[in-house]
Amino acid sequence: MLSLLLYLAGNGFVGAFPSVLQGCSKLATLDMGNNMFFGVIPPWIGSRVPLLRILSLRSNNFTGEIPPELSRLSQLQLLDMANNSLTGSIPVTFSNLTSMSIKVPQNLSIQDPSNTMKYEDRINIYWKGQELIFQRTLRLLAGIDLSSNLLSHCIPEELTNLQGLQFLNLSRNHLSCVIPEDIGNLTFLESLDLSSNGLIGAIPPSFSSLSWLNTLNVSNNLLSGKIPTGAQIQTLTDPSIYSNNSGLCGFPLHISCDNTSLARDERKDEVEDHWMYYFVIAGVVFGFWLWFGMLFIVKTWRCSFLLFVDGLQCKIMKKMSR
Ligand SMILES: *[C@@H]1O[C@H](CO)[C@@H](O)[C@H](O)[C@H]1NC(C)=O
Ligand SMILES: *[C@@H]1O[C@H](CO)[C@@H](O)[C@H](O)[C@H]1NC(C)=O
Ligand SMILES: *[C@@H]1O[C@H](CO)[C@@H](O)[C@H](O)[C@H]1NC(C)=O
Ligand SMILES: *[C@@H]1O[C@H](CO)[C@@H](O)[C@H](O)[C@H]1NC(C)=O
Ligand SMILES: *[C@@H]1O[C@H](CO)[C@@H](O)[C@H](O)[C@H]1NC(C)=O
Ligand SMILES: *[C@@H]1O[C@H](CO)[C@@H](O)[C@H](O)[C@H]1NC(C)=O
Ligand SMILES: *[C@@H]1O[C@H](CO)[C@@H](O)[C@H](O)[C@H]1NC(C)=O
Ligand SMILES: *[C@@H]1O[C@H](CO)[C@@H](O)[C@H](O)[C@H]1NC(C)=O
Ligand SMILES: *[C@@H]1O[C@H](CO)[C@@H](O)[C@H](O)[C@H]1NC(C)=O
């Protein structure tokens, strides 16, 4: 079987996504980067070009949403859609990208029968903050780059299913919500860039299980709380990767978490104290009115109470006069 590669990168092409590619069912690599393509990314890529391993649409002006149908590309290892004008959310169906969810991507190449064929490939990959040209060793790499778009909503928790991912760049979008709690499941992640979004909450403790991570950037978000500790994350000593957030503390920042946590506890205690006061006051008021209310409402009780008080008074008077 022949593996087909199509490089159109950096040629100044202008136009919509070429529909002629619908006939290229054997295409394994499609690099359309650095052109002036525009319009939507057609959903048919998911079904008509099913053998794609590499899809780069980087630095064009594609608009609209990322079609969920792309998750049907079961061979896809590299998806680069950075630097376009894509909107909407990251499809939850991405958790179905089979070849990115295999735990050890290397196993893929060992077991893949198509590996016996002559498979020459070459692509420019942007990761760990630099551009590298990968050749041949490519089949050992799995990654997603959706940076510099207009994507919004949450990072789907389902993305943590892609346990073969080695790099993930979602920086410079409008993503909000918290970072998925199970992100530590991405065991082979080497490069993670979530910078310049609107992410809130704490950095999940599971970060400490990202034992291959050597490039991280979560700056320019609204994150707060303690930076997780752990063998690998401890080696990332550049404080700028955490800069411009709402209240991160702990190593490598020179902000101690002691004060902030203390302040939070105090505030909690205060709230609890207030509640106690309310309950005591409510109890007193209720008890008081229960007693007097009864006296006012029930005539016979009122009379016997007054008689009782009168009687008491008589007894006291008698005792005193003695
Ligand atoms: C983003 O794309 C524009 C053209 O659409 C290009 O001029 C620019 O250099 C690209 N930026 C990066 C970081 O690739
Ligand atoms: C991209 O397309 C949008 C909408 O069609 C347009 O407003 C914007 O100017 C374009 N950007 C570039 C860099 O061509
Ligand atoms: C993933 O694929 C399976 C089988 O094709 C399908 O049943 C399931 O709904 C898909 N999941 C998502 C999130 O699309
Ligand atoms: C994947 O490869 C590792 C060693 O590289 C091996 O221990 C493991 O059993 C393999 N997994 C599968 C499913 O073949
Ligand atoms: C992520 O993408 C942005 C912009 O597209 C780039 O500047 C940055 O270097 C990338 N991050 C990593 C870790 O490669
Ligand atoms: C992450 O891993 C844990 C433990 O292996 C598992 O229970 C959990 O379901 C995983 N989460 C996701 C989103 O796959
Ligand atoms: C982190 O990301 C921000 C914005 O995306 C960028 O300006 C900064 O240079 C990055 N820092 C590192 C250390 O890569
Ligand atoms: C801080 O991050 C926000 C995004 O969360 C961004 O709008 C703002 O420009 C950043 N400020 C600086 C000084 O980088
Ligand atoms: C924490 O408290 C110490 C002394 O009580 C103070 O010097 C330091 O500035 C405080 N840090 C923060 C972040 O409030």
Q: How far is the CA of 96 from the centre of ligand 3 (A)?
A: 6
Any domain includes 263: no
User: Is the minimum distance from the CB of 4 to ligand 3 under 6 angstroms?
Assistant: no
User: Is the minimum distance from the CB of 224 to ligand 2 under 6 angstroms?
Assistant: no
Closest ligand relative to 86 C-alpha: 2
Any domain includes 260: no
* Same-domain check for residues 218 and 292: no
Contact 110, 128 (CB under 8 A): no
Q: How far is the CA of 73 from the centre of ligand 2 (A)?
A: 28
Q: 240, 255, 270: which is the final residue of a domain?
A: 255
Any domain includes 270: no
Any domain includes 267: no
* Same-domain check for residues 141 and 251: yes
Ligand 6 atom closest to the CA of 158, numbered from 1: 13
* CB-based pocket (< 6 A), ligand 4: 104, 106-107
* Same-domain check for residues 117 and 241: yes
Q: How far is the CA of 106 from the centre of ligand 4 (A)?
A: 8
Ligand 4 atom closest to the CA of 111, numbered from 1: 14
Query: What is the reported pTM?
Result: 0.76
* Same-domain check for residues 251 and 289: no
Any domain includes 99: yes
Residues (pLDDT < 50) of the chain are 1, 105-119, 137, 262-270
Any domain includes 269: no
* Same-domain check for residues 306 and 163: no
Q: Which of 177, 171, 231, 236 is nearest to 201 (CA)?
A: 177
The whole-number pLDDT of residue 117 equals 38
Name the residue range of residue 188's domain: 4-255
Q: Which of 111, 152, 135, 118 is nearest to 54 (CA)?
A: 135
> Structural domain tally of the chain?
2
* Same-domain check for residues 225 and 284: no
- Strand order across the 4-7 sheet: 4-7, 27-31, 54-56, 78-80, 143-145, 167-169, 191-193, 215-217
CA-proximal residue: ligand 8, atom 10 (nearest)? 220
29 SS3 class: strand
Contact 149, 169 (CB under 8 A): no
* Same-domain check for residues 194 and 131: yes
User: Is the minimum distance from the CB of 87 to ligand 2 under 6 angstroms?
Assistant: no
Q: Alpha-carbon distance 269 to 276, whole Å?
A: 11
Three-state helix/strand/coil letters over 39-77: ECCCCCHHHHCCCCCEEECCCCEEEEECCHHHHHCCCCC
Considering only the C-alpha atoms of the chain, give the largest distance between any 2 of them, rounded to a whole number of Å: 124
The whole-number pLDDT of residue 194 equals 96
The whole-number pLDDT of residue 160 equals 93
Ligand 9 atom closest to the CA of 259, numbered from 1: 1
The whole-number pLDDT of residue 178 equals 93
* Same-domain check for residues 137 and 237: yes
* Same-domain check for residues 244 and 315: no
CA-proximal residue: ligand 4, atom 9 (nearest)? 107
278 SS3 class: helix
CA-proximal residue: ligand 5, atom 13 (nearest)? 128
Contact 66, 80 (CB under 8 A): no
CA-proximal residue: ligand 1, atom 2 (nearest)? 59
CA-proximal residue: ligand 3, atom 12 (nearest)? 93
* Cα dist from 123 to 16, 73, 139, whole Å: 22, 19, 11
Select from 195, 221, 236 the residue to mutate for testing ligand 7; criterion: most ligand atoms less than 8 Å from CB.
195
Contact 86, 63 (CB under 8 A): yes
Any domain includes 157: yes
* Same-domain check for residues 178 and 234: yes
Q: Alpha-carbon distance 188 to 164, whole Å?
A: 6
Strands, E assignment, the chain: 4-7, 14-15, 27-31, 36-39, 54-56, 61-65, 78-80, 85-87, 122-127, 130-135, 143-145, 152-153, 167-169, 174-175, 191-193, 200-201, 215-217, 222-226, 247-249
Q: Alpha-carbon distance 79 to 40, whole Å?
A: 16
Termini Cα distance of the chain: 123
* CB-based pocket (< 6 A), ligand 7: 129, 171-172, 195-196, 217, 219-220, 238, 240-241
* Same-domain check for residues 237 and 284: no
The whole-number pLDDT of residue 266 equals 42
The whole-number pLDDT of residue 98 equals 84
The whole-number pLDDT of residue 222 equals 94
Q: What is the CATH number of the domain that holds 250?
A: 3.80.10.10
* Same-domain check for residues 189 and 302: no
Any domain includes 300: yes
How many other CB atoms sit within 10 Å of the CB of residue 238? 12
